[in-house]
Structure 1
Amino acid sequence: MVILEPMTEVDFQNYLEPAIAEYAQENITNGAWTEETALERARKQYTELLPQGRATPSHFLFTIVEASQQQKVGILWFALEEKQGQSTAFVYDVSIEERYQRHGYGSQAFREMEKKIQELGISKISLHVFGQNHAAQQMYKKLGYVATSMVMSKVLDHE
């Protein structure tokens, strides 16, 4: 079983730079950004989303902790947003440390997050997942999430 603990400032600082680098790389891999600009663009987006760091209003950053061993296994970040007059939650990031992956911690963290979001009076959760992240897509499907839109691309050979 996991619990979601509010992220400490130390945990936030340990999370931030690797998360920015990973986000930049994901955007390079999916062809959205160039290698030359990706890191700068990722850093800018994080700064815009979290201008007050972990104290940014309506943003909830958690450390995922395996309860019995009190071991930190990952992070989860969501925010409350208004979309078309409806309050929703948007999951910005969930990450399980590699050595703890495939043990159900991600699914457990999502169930705990869903309880917290319901307690806030919110009834809809949205998220973005990169097309090449098949493991995450499978987990989200198992948890009942469905695709609401999809962008597809094809790279053409120039011959």
Structure 2
Amino acid sequence: MSELTLRAMSPEEFDGWQHELAVEYAREHVTAGNWTAEEGLDRARQAIAAQLPDGMATPGELLLVGVLADGTPIGRLWISLTHPRGLPDCAFLQDIEVGAEHRGRGLGRALLAAGERAARERGARALELNVFGANETAATLYRTAGYRVVTQQMRKDLLD
């Protein structure tokens, strides 16, 4: 596997990423039964805008691109250096995505490790994340990378 480094997102990458993130976030919430398909995209956009009120300039947010040694961008990371629930010294991985054409080569694990280093370099002593229950591929990556379940939300549909 090639060496992976991180760099800041460009404004053009940020614009494209925001749209792709909203589509994926909406899909995950709809699949999980949290939102309807009709409301999903609007709710996702609102949630992202609330967390990034100043866009790329929002303080305490790392918006990064994983790049191979040859300059090829392979994925993106969004890390909040301030935890959403205020946990001290704990950053929060909001999003990690490896481009479909780069999957299956260990680059997700490399991107995750690079994000962990970036958070640690900025004072974080822990990194927390959420993973949707249906995303077993991501859950497996996180478990095998040393993450452990600290809270778990479960649901049972009660049908007539």
* TMscore range, shorter length: over 0.9
The TM-score with structure 2 as length reference comes to 0.92
Alignment equivalent of 2:95, drawn from 93, 101, 116: 93
Unaligned runs of at least 5 residues, structure 1: none
Give the structure-1-normalised TM-score: 0.93
Runs of 5+ unmatched residues, structure 2? none
Q: How far does residue 85 in structure 1 lie from its aligned partner after superposition?
A: 5.9
Q: How many residues align?
A: 157
Which range moved further: 32-41 or 128-137?
32-41
2: CA distance, partners of 1:46 / 1:7: 16
Q: Which residue of 2 aligns with 1:27?
A: 29
Alignment of 1:1-159 (within 5 A): 1-67=3-69, 69-81=70-82, 83=85, 86-158=88-160
Cα 1:41–1:86 change in 2 (3 A) is: same
Q: SS of the residue aligned with 1:125?
A: strand
CA distance in 2, matches of 1:152, 1:24: 19
Work out the CA distance in 1 between the residues paired with 2:153 and 2:73.
34
Deviation >4 Å, runs of 4+ = 82-85
Q: Percent identity?
A: 31
Per-residue displacement from partner, 1:26-69 (whole Å, max 9, x unpaired)?
Answer: 100000111121111111111100111111100000011112x2
SS in 2 for 1:33: coil
